[in-house]
Structure 1
Amino acid sequence: MKAVIQRVTKASVTTGRVKVASINDGLLILLGIINEDTQEDITWLSNKIANLRVFGDDQGVMNKSILDINGDAIVVSQFTLHANTKKGNRPSYIKAAKPDVAIPLYEQFVSQLESDLGKRVQTGEFGADMKVELINDGPVTIIIDTKQKG
């Protein structure tokens, strides 16, 4: 699994003309899934995100996690995170898991993150054409790949 995590003061996801998710202070998480991803990846990544210290303390030092600030989260599936641009100018998405594999893993990740955060996690709409709006706070953007955790 690959995640792009952005610290936000505001974020929302719209499909068509319907706003399907909206948060204030928290994290916007773009999630890419491949066929080799497992429950171990889900558990590790969810725990890492829940405890990632990217929010400022009283001295402005990034010492607090989303748990510490009681922040909110939106998870958006994004197969393009696994784009291969090695050959040519048209990215290949062959590594990205197909919906029959990706959807259950995506749903399991959201459920695990809800458990780790102790609150509801908002989501985009899997496979939909979404418009994601955000105000990146900092800016703070972290990329985590569970296949490179060693």
Structure 2
Amino acid sequence: MRILVQRVHDASISVDGRIVAAIGAGLLGLVGFGREDGPEFHHSPAFAGMARKLLDLRIFPGQGDAAHKFHRSLQDFGGQILLAPQFTLYADCRKGRRPSFSEACEPVWAAELFKRFVSLVDGACHDSVSSGIFGAEMEVRLRNWGPVTIWLDSARLFPDHNRQYSVH
């Protein structure tokens, strides 16, 4: 599982010219699942660990003397979160000019994993979570704040708990 996290002033997702999700200040997470994760990955400690890591990242400014430091998490800051499914996080560009997506999770599994991840984050977050639509052609708009962009990869963050749920 991979998440590209961006701290934003605001962000939105449109489908067919209609806004389907929007947030103010907070986090935009582009979420992808790999073939290595497998359909039962939601049972993995890494799955819950990625949700906790996302919500607990201290990348928002503090107050007073800490106003120019990464001091508060999304929860501490009181920000919102927008999650977008993004299989292209598993693009392999090592050969040729066209990316290969053979390491991306099967769409049926990924759709279910994304739905479960949104639900998990929503249950742990102080504010409701907004999300894009799996499989739709989405237009994502954002005003990156900083810019601050963080890469989270479950294989690197939770190496002992990631692969035991995959199907080979």
Please classify the TM superposition score into its range, dividing by the shorter chain length: over 0.9
Q: Counterpart of 1:54? A: 59
* Structure 1, gaps ≥5 residues long: none
What's the secondary structure of 2:20's corresponding residue?
Answer: strand
CA contact under 8 A between 2:36 and 2:103: conserved in structure 1? Answer: no
CA contact under 8 A between 1:5 and 1:141: conserved in structure 2? Answer: yes
After TM superposition, which residue ranges in structure 1, 4 or more long, deviate above 3 angstroms? none
Q: Report the Cα distance in structure 1 between the residues aligned to 2:102 and 2:58, rounded to whole angstroms.
A: 33
Q: Counterpart of 1:27? A: 27
Question: TM-score with structure 1 length normalisation?
Answer: 0.96
Identity rate of aligned residues, in percent?
37
Q: Counterpart of 1:16? A: 16
Q: CA deviation at 1:35?
A: 2.9
Q: Report the Cα distance in structure 1 between the residues aligned to 2:146 and 2:83, rounded to whole angstroms.
A: 20
CA contact under 8 A between 1:35 and 1:102: conserved in structure 2? Answer: no
Q: Counterpart of 2:164? A: none
Is 1:7 paired with 2:29? no
Is 1:123 paired with 2:123? no
CA contact under 8 A between 1:76 and 1:123: conserved in structure 2? Answer: yes
**RMSD of aligned Cα (Å):** 1.0
Tell me how many residue pairs correspond in the alignment.
150
Q: Report the Cα distance in structure 2 between the residues aligned to 1:118 and 1:97, rounded to whole angstroms.
A: 30
Q: Report the Cα distance in structure 2 between the residues aligned to 1:35 and 1:88, rounded to whole angstroms.
A: 21
Structure possessing the higher radius of gyration over alpha carbons: 2
Question: TM-score with structure 2 length normalisation?
Answer: 0.86
